[in-house]
Each structure stands twice: as C-alpha cells, then as structure tokens.
C-alpha cells in the first residue's frame, strides 16, 4: 500500500460520466480516501496507472461505450486492487472477470464503504 502524508489510501477513479465521478469522489473523500482523477478515457487510465501511485481503483465497466477489460488487466499487472463499477453480469465477454469485485450502479455511500473494506482490507472507512 502506498503511504501518503495523511495516511489516506489513494483511490484511482476511472469513470467517463462526470456526474457519477464527482459523486463517487465525494463519497470516497467522506470515507477517508484521497482520490486520483477522475480519469474519463482508456488512454488516460493507462497513463494514470503507469505514473500515479494508487492503493486501489474503481473502474467503470464501460468507458466511452468500450468495455474496459484492458484497463483491468493493467491494474492487475501493477497489483492495484480494484472493482468494476457497473453490472458485469450483462456482458457476454465477462467470463474472466465474473467473480471480480463489482459495484453495481446505482450505488450508495454504504455500497462504496462495503467495497472499500473488500479492496482495501487495511482501511476502515468511517461510519456515516
């Protein structure tokens, strides 16, 4: 895990819907995280993964109408725990990722808190 001055986990947000990204950013900050991004496109996501230390990531399943599995593979290669945001069960090409952590949309602050406890087991998000 990356250690920051504030000892807050750094979460990379990869989401192309700016409204959703801002809501997620606010939720993550309320839950004690430092947010990287939001990143809105696949090329930007690759750049952020390669250049910005992150403890975890939340990756929209679809970015600009393209499934983001290549981004997921890059996160795995860098050992960055992550979850998909979106319903992975609806995609027929999902067999390799079917059991991966997922945050179905729409989600609540409680859903994000539960997810953080899964992908960042050493971080205890504050209660509401």
Contacts of 91 (CB under 8 A, 6+ apart): 61, 67
pLDDT at 101: 86
3-state secondary structure of 19: helix
Domain count, the chain: 1
pLDDT in tens, 41-62: 999 999 999 999 999 999 998 8
In a domain, 124, yes or no: no
For residue 56, the enclosing domain spans 10-119
> Looking at the predicted structure, is the pLDDT value of residue 30 above 90?
yes
Residue 63 is assigned to a structural domain of this protein: yes
Out of 29-33, 63-67, 122-126, which region has the weakest mean confidence (pLDDT)? 122-126
- For position 89, which CATH number holds? 3.40.50.2300
pLDDT for the residue numbered 91: 56
Q: Answer yes or no: is 90 within a domain.
A: yes
For residue 2, being part of any structural domain is answered with no
Query: Does residue 40 sit within a domain?
Result: yes
Residue count of the chain: 128
Whether residue 36 lies inside any domain: the answer is: yes
Label residue 115 by pLDDT band (50, 70, 90). Answer: very high
- pTM score, whole prediction: 0.89
Could you read off the pLDDT of 54-105 as tens digits, one per residue?
999 999 988 998 989 999 999 999 999 999 998 665 555 566 777 778 888 8
Assigned domain for 74 exists: yes
Q: What is the mean pLDDT of residues 108-127?
A: 91
Measured CA to CA, the distance from residue 4 to residue 126 in angstroms comes to: 18
H helices present in 31-102, as ranges: 42-51, 69-77
Assess contact for 34 and 6: CB atoms under 8 A.
yes
Tell how far CA 35 is from the center of its chain. Answer: 10
Question: Is 47 among the domain residues?
Answer: yes
């Amino acid at each position: 895990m990356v250690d920051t001055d504030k000892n807050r986990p750094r979460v990379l947000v990869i989401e192309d819907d700016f409204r959703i990204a801002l809501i997620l950013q606010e939720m993550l900050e309320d839950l004690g995280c430092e947010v990287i991004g939001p990143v809105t496109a696949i090329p930007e996501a690759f750049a952020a993964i390669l250049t910005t230390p992150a403890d975890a990531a939340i990756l929209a399943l679809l970015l600009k109408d393209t499934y983001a599995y290549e981004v997921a593979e890059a996160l795995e290669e860098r050992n960055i725990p992550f979850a998909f945001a979106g319903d992975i069960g609806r995609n027929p090409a999902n067999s390799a990722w079917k059991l991966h952590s997922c945050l179905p949309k729409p989600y609540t602050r409680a859903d994000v808190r539960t997810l953080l406890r899964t992908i960042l087991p050493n971080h205890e998000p504050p209660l509401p």
